Structure formats: C-alpha cells, structure tokens
Amino acid sequence: MTAEPRPAALALFPDDVATQLEADTREVIARYPDSRSALLPLLHLIQSVDSFVSPRGIAWCAEALDLSRAEVSAVATFYSQYKRKPNGRYTVGVCTNTLCAVMGGDEIFGAVSEHLGIGNEETTSDGAITLEAVECNAACDYAPVVMVNWEFFDNVTPASAISLVDDLQAGREVTASRGPVVQDFRAVSRVLAGFEDGLVDSGPTAGPASLVGLEIAREHGWRAPAYPGAPEADPTAGTEAVGEPGSSADHQEGTQS
C-alpha cells in the first residue's frame, strides 16, 4: 500500500518536526466543528516549533485549514502574542500602563532596557530575552508587575527586575509569584496551543491582595443585591477556601452541571 503524500507545506520542515507537527495539527483541528476555528491554537503551535509565526508556519496553517496565506497573516498580525520575528526564550513584559507607571513601571522598563542594552520588542544577542512594554498585565492589585512568558512577578522594583533578567540569561530556574516555574517561550506556546504540561496547579494562584475585597465582605456580611427575576444567590458562595474541592479554582473541564 502506498503511503499518502505529505502535504506540500510540511516539506519546509525537517522530517521529524513535520511528522510531529502534522499529528499535533490534526489533534488541534479535531477539537473544532469548523476547522478554521483552529487557527489561533495552530499559530501558537507554530511558535512552539519556530519561536515565531514563520513564513513556513503560515503556509502550513493555510494548507491545513484550507485558508489563504493572506487570511492566516491577517490573524497573526492582529494579536500581540503572535510574533513576526524570532522571539527570545523568555518574553519579559513590563507593564507601563497607568497604575504600574505611577508605581514605577516606566522606571523598571528603563532600568531593564539599559541593563540588557535593548529596547521595546528587541531581543538580546544571546536570544535569551525579548523585552516588551506592556499596556496592561491585568494584575493591578500587585503593581508594578512584570510578566515572563505570561507568568506574574508581583510588586517588582528596578533592582528585582534586573536580578530576574540576570537569572533568565544565566539559565537559572525562576518561579512566578503566582504560578509555576517559568517555562521557555516554545514550551509555553505549546501549552497555549492546548497541550497541557501538567504545571497548571503548581505554585500559588490567588494572592492576598486579590482576596481582600472578599474577606472584607465576609467580615461585614455584605452580599451583592439580588437581581429582579434571578434565582436566589447561594449564601455559601465564596466561603470555601480557594482551591478546595468544589471551589471555583477547583473547576474541571466538562464537570459543570
């Protein structure tokens, strides 16, 4: 029996990479009733291989999903998580939006930029770090915040940020303030493509600053007002320990009733 010919775009990849990429692509596409819905995770999958959305990656996504390369490129250029040039092993994103800026974000970005000798969206010569000024890391209660491959580092100072990037460049293990040991860009891109790495529950999740409002409400017996016509709220909601069985942090896909 003659084997089916390999799709043309896969010929742009080494054989072993092409074999794995094709299998992973088929797995991703199978998750969706409409194959074109798989484009976003497939772009992350390409970044897990090439460290950016490469021309050969665009060609493969287009062929696999029966799209034009222009359609794939239009999506890839719309979202900031998709890179159009090789990314460093670690993306260091310094928040410089309003609150973080007031708390020292601009100073942190300037200190790291000068220390590394690179500017915004530039990469160190050793390929270790790509530096970004981020509009918001969505962690204002821990400002100023730096993210490394989208893992949080809270209440950062210029000195601690420089120590962090030094550790990254030296290949030392770093652990997020609220999350796991930081993985490199390609590994994280594979997770974003939907392939779990088993680290989702490692490390702390919610920190004290995130829980202050809940604790104050509990102390004073405050509850949100009822919405007309809505079911009565569960009086025990929010009283369980974070991460305990049955809490929102304990949600498992497919177990909601």
167-202 pLDDT, tens digit each: 999 999 999 998 899 999 999 999 999 999 888 777
Do 169 and 32 touch, CB atoms closer than 8 A? no
Domain contains 59: yes
Do 68 and 62 touch, CB atoms closer than 8 A? yes
Based on the fold, state whether residues 139 and 164 are members of the same structural domain: yes
Domain contains 213: no
Domain contains 170: yes
Domain that holds residue 62: 8-76
Based on the fold, state whether residues 117 and 146 are members of the same structural domain: yes
Query: Token digits for 97?
Result: 């939006």
Domain contains 217: no
pLDDT of residue 115: 98
Based on the fold, state whether residues 46 and 110 are members of the same structural domain: no
Based on the fold, state whether residues 46 and 114 are members of the same structural domain: no
Q: How confident is the model at residue 86 (pLDDT cuts 50, 70, 90)?
A: very high
Domain contains 71: yes
Q: How confident is the model at residue 251 (pLDDT cuts 50, 70, 90)?
A: very low
Based on the fold, state whether residues 26 and 97 are members of the same structural domain: no
Last residue of a domain, one of 161, 182, 203: 182
Based on the fold, state whether residues 105 and 65 are members of the same structural domain: no
> Does a cis peptide bond (omega within 30 degrees of 0) precede residue 144?
yes
pLDDT of residue 227: 77
Segment 201-221 shows an average pLDDT of: 80
Do 131 and 169 touch, CB atoms closer than 8 A? no
Do 197 and 183 touch, CB atoms closer than 8 A? yes
Based on the fold, state whether residues 63 and 103 are members of the same structural domain: no
Most confident of 113-117, 137-141, 221-225: 113-117
Based on the fold, state whether residues 141 and 67 are members of the same structural domain: no
Last residue of a domain, one of 30, 51, 76: 76
Q: How confident is the model at residue 254 (pLDDT cuts 50, 70, 90)?
A: very low
| Total number of domains constituting the chain | 2
pLDDT of residue 210: 77
Q: How confident is the model at residue 165 (pLDDT cuts 50, 70, 90)?
A: very high
Segment 219-244 shows an average pLDDT of: 71
Last residue of a domain, one of 31, 47, 76: 76
Q: Give the global pTM.
A: 0.81
CATH number of the domain that 111 lies in? 3.40.30.10
pLDDT averaged over the chain? 89
Domain contains 210: no
Query: Dihedral (C-alpha) 30, 68, 47, 112: value to the nearest 10 degrees?
Result: -140
Do 122 and 85 touch, CB atoms closer than 8 A? no
Domain contains 167: yes
Do 152 and 137 touch, CB atoms closer than 8 A? yes
Domain contains 118: yes
